[in-house]
A and B are shown apart, each in its own frame.
Chain A
Amino acid sequence: MNLERVPNEEKLTLCRKYYLGGYAFLPFLWLVNVVWFFKEAFMKPVYTEQLQIKKYVKRSALGLLLWVTVLTTWITIFQRFRAEWGEVGDYLSFTIPLGIP
């Protein structure tokens, strides 16, 4: 969708929908929000709805950062320590590599 031709109220509605949707454990919506509306929020000349769009983009970026940190930490810990967790590690895994602990 080309944001050039969308009126400003619709841009605000879209941004808000993506922001609210991200709260349903969907961090990719926040990622899309940040990437798509970044130009609109910070690089276009000022218009009325831009303040609100800026607010949504900033909050989406914050939420995205939080998710990335949590996921990276968990994935690192799991990959590093799964072998030592024995039974718990096996029950948490979908695919268990063959031939290595």
Chain B
Amino acid sequence: SRPAISVTARDPPVGHERSRRLTSVGCNSVEKKIYVNLNYTVPCVRLLNATHQIGCQSHLSGNVGVLHVLESEENLDWVLHSGLTPPYLVILESSLFTRYSEHTLKNGSSRVAGVAVVTPNANPSQGTSPHTSCPNENTGVYTENYDPTMARCNVTVWNPLGTGLSYEEFDFPIFAMKEDNDTQVIRQCYMDHNRAGNGSTPQYPLCAMQLYSHMSAVTDTATCMRRNNINFSLSPEMVCDPLSDFNVWASTRPLNNTAKGHKEGESVVLAAARLDSRSFFFDIAPGAESGVSGFVALLAAAHALRNATQEAPPPRNILYAFFHGETFDYIGSSRMVYDMEKNNFAVDLDNIHSVLEVGQVGLHAESRLWLHSDPVSRKNSSVNEESAASGLNVSVEEPGFSQPLPPSSFQRFLRARPIPGVVIEDHRSAFTNSFYESMYDNAEYLNISYPPDLTPDEQLEYVTDTAKALTEVATVVARTLYIQAGGAESRLGSINADPQMVTRILYGFLVRSNNSWFQQLIPSDLVSHLTDRPTNFYVGVAQQPGKPTLLVQYLLANLTGIVVSDTCFNNCVFVLLPQMYSYLWVQGAAPPNSTERVGFCMRSAARLSKALSPAFDLHEYTSKDYSTWTESRWKTIKGRIFLVASHELEMLTLGVGVGVLLTSLMLTYIMSSKADILFSSGREPANATY
């Protein structure tokens, strides 16, 4: 008999013995030997509105295509017509992409499995904008009812370099990659396997790439919101979310925020700016000239006006408003107008005396600013520009001919009431911004450059030329606001924006948000939001305020508020009354001798208000009046490269496998039916019944 295997309980080994045992265990993953995963991939995602879907879509199991590096237009013919192993996954430089994507690649989508765009480290020399040439044409004030001659950019095409690429629909995935190690690996794989040498066709196995970016939502917003809400399906799933974030607003004289609706005797000058931006790819939106220049000028103006409005308060209140989501059919401003109309905001539309909006002011061709106004509703010149700009290096003029307003949040206010107002821009008619809503609209485009060999802290404090020019603009804005609010002209000389402040804010938003100054202004639980990269201003779908929104709120609080001394954290956040002011606890700086930060309580009028399009509260998902933009949800976004075999080899392997199965089944059947002949060994056949 065999010896029995005995199991005896033993004492567990002591700690270090156990770890020694574990170090000898290793593992090898077959998956890692086959696939090389890509680290940095930025997809283009699907967005939907009342009538269309835009963006890119891949199959549920990813799009696989044989790699092809497109160097020039001759190779395009290989991809679209003559290549022998479709579908291809095309890798190209971003300049080629803008030229060929819309018509050629999109039409050949049966042979194109996907596109990977390699973005250069420096901006291209030629300007190109993926946005439409007439931004927000359906939700502004210039409709056929208001003035048919001015609708649809008949008078001025605002964005002449716009190709509309961001608003096209692609049925293959498009990813963006940087020039880094992964791209080198991809090019090497292509050179080794896919390169057709001197007319001979490349042989299998070929290098292929697989991109996953399957989007759940489809058709339009009404369909996807309906599918979100279906109750009796087996597995209810959310497929899309509306684009929403928060607006930031503050006032020079505090307003009672719990008493909503019309405030008697309150006359308010609204100073507006835009926060957000976008690009063709998801979550990349530096928006330097499109958005940041405007709101930084307004922030600096708010800071410049702090003293003047405390010491010699003008008769009218000034309400600073930073709207989010303006890129997508004026989400933030339409929501604020709706709230004002429904008496859900601290003031009413009747309380607004006039509007001053700061648009794109970062590019300074000849140090000229232009005041745009609406020719239809305008009676007399509503803004006194000469005195505001006297003594500065900036000249302020009006365009001089009858031209509609550029795309601006002010248009949404005009839709509700004929309020006088002005939009300050740096272009006389069409945009001077040649990268409007593009991923190249960054610090480099605004010429923000620092001398080499500066530490990040030194860069933070260095006043660039761009910052100096933007400071002049901010001073003009501040002085104009003071006069609009009815302040005395004699005080104008003392209202000046601070270039140090402007350059720090520009550095924080356009170069690196994880700097020492921003760290002082925010509470400790927001420190993880700061990154070493430029801020991303895409509006997004989060229910909570996004990172740039919170940064702007804390900045505005710091620039217009005061410190409430002798207040501890609990008193600041939980106890003090929030009707007139908002109280924010910030972590502050560490005093010179210690490393512990000394926090303090900041009292200001800076608040957040929800920026969700009214179409979603009213459940009018096919609305033509309000923005209906939603973003689809997805499960995985990734890419990987591997070698593929030819289709014939795959079929052959499958055929051999099936053949082996059938053969073995047949053999088993034959052997089982002839069992008595094959396995007889002289014994009697089994007759016994069981």
Residues of chain A whose beta carbon lies under 8 Å from any beta carbon of chain B: 86-87, 90-91, 93-96, 98-101
Contact = CB atoms under 8 A, between A and B. Distances in A.
Contacts of A94: 232-234
A86 B219 CA distance: 10
Interface string B213-232: 01111110001001100101
Contacts of A93: 233
B327 interface: no
Contact of A98 (B214, B230, B232, B234): B214
Contacts of A99: 57, 60, 214-218
Main DSSP-derived SS at the B contact region? loop
Nearest to B57: A99
A87 B216 contact: no
A98 B239 contact: yes
B631 to A, nearest CB: 14
B235 interface: yes
Contacts of A86: 223
B237 interface: yes
A96 B227 contact: yes
B134 to A, nearest CB: 29
Contacts of A96: 227, 230, 233
A101 B226 contact: no
Contacts of A101: 218-219
Listed from nearest, the 4 A-B pairs whose CB atoms lie closest are: A98-B216, A94-B234, A101-B218, A99-B216
A98 B226 contact: no
B233 A95 contact: yes
Contact of A95 (B216, B218, B234): B234
Contacts of B218: 98-101
Interface of B: 57, 60, 214-219, 223, 226-227, 230, 232-235, 237, 239
A93 B233 CA distance: 7
A101 B219 CA distance: 6
Contacts of B215: 99
Contacts of B219: 101
Given A94-B234, A98-B214, A98-B239, 9 more contacts: A90-B230, A91-B230, A94-B233, A95-B235, A98-B60, A98-B216, A99-B57, A99-B60, A99-B214
A100 B46 CA distance: 12
A101 B171 CA distance: 13
A74 B233 CA distance: 20
24 contacts: A87-B226, A90-B223, A90-B226, A90-B227, A90-B230, A93-B233, A95-B234, A95-B235, A96-B227, A96-B230, A96-B233, A98-B214, A98-B216, A98-B218, A98-B237, A98-B239, A99-B57, A99-B60, A99-B214, A99-B215, A99-B216, A99-B218, A100-B218, A101-B218
Question: Which of A91, A95, A98 gathers most chain B CB within 10 Å?
Answer: A98
Nearest to B232: A94
Main DSSP-derived SS at the A contact region? loop
Contacts of B226: 87, 90
A90 B226 CA distance: 8
A12 B69 CA distance: 75
Contacts of B217: 99
Nearest to B60: A99
A94 B239 CA distance: 15
Contacts of A95: 233-235
Nearest to B231: A91
Nearest to B632: A99
Question: Which of A86, A90, A91, A96 gathers most chain B CB within 10 Å?
Answer: A96
A67 B526 CA distance: 64
A90 to B, nearest CB: 6
B53 to A, nearest CB: 10
A99 B215 CA distance: 5
B231 to A, nearest CB: 10
Contacts of A91: 230
B379 to A, nearest CB: 48
B633 to A, nearest CB: 9
A13 B371 CA distance: 95
Contacts of B214: 98-99
A63 to B, nearest CB: 30
A62 B419 CA distance: 78
A100 B60 CA distance: 10
Nearest to B226: A90
A93 B57 CA distance: 23
A86 B237 CA distance: 18
B43 to A, nearest CB: 14
A91 B57 CA distance: 25
B57 to A, nearest CB: 6
A86 B621 CA distance: 14
A14 to B, nearest CB: 27
Nearest to A93: B233
B62 to A, nearest CB: 13
A101 B215 CA distance: 12
A53 B328 CA distance: 72
A88 to B, nearest CB: 11
A48 B173 CA distance: 71
B636 to A, nearest CB: 13
A19 B150 CA distance: 76
Nearest to A87: B226
Contacts of B239: 98
A90 B217 CA distance: 13
A28 to B, nearest CB: 22
B61 to A, nearest CB: 12
Contacts of A100: 218
Nearest to B635: A98
Contacts of A98: 60, 214, 216, 218, 237, 239
A21 B469 CA distance: 88
Question: Which of B57, B215, B216, B217 gathers most chain A CB within 10 Å?
Answer: B216
A60 B239 CA distance: 45
A91 B215 CA distance: 21
Contacts of A90: 223, 226-227, 230
Contacts of B216: 98-99
Question: Which of A87, A93, A96, A99 gathers most chain B CB within 10 Å?
Answer: A99
Nearest to B219: A101
A78 B37 CA distance: 40
A83 to B, nearest CB: 9
A87 B224 CA distance: 11
Contacts of B232: 94
A101 B232 CA distance: 19
A93 B227 CA distance: 11
Nearest to B214: A99
A66 B260 CA distance: 67
A99 B634 CA distance: 9
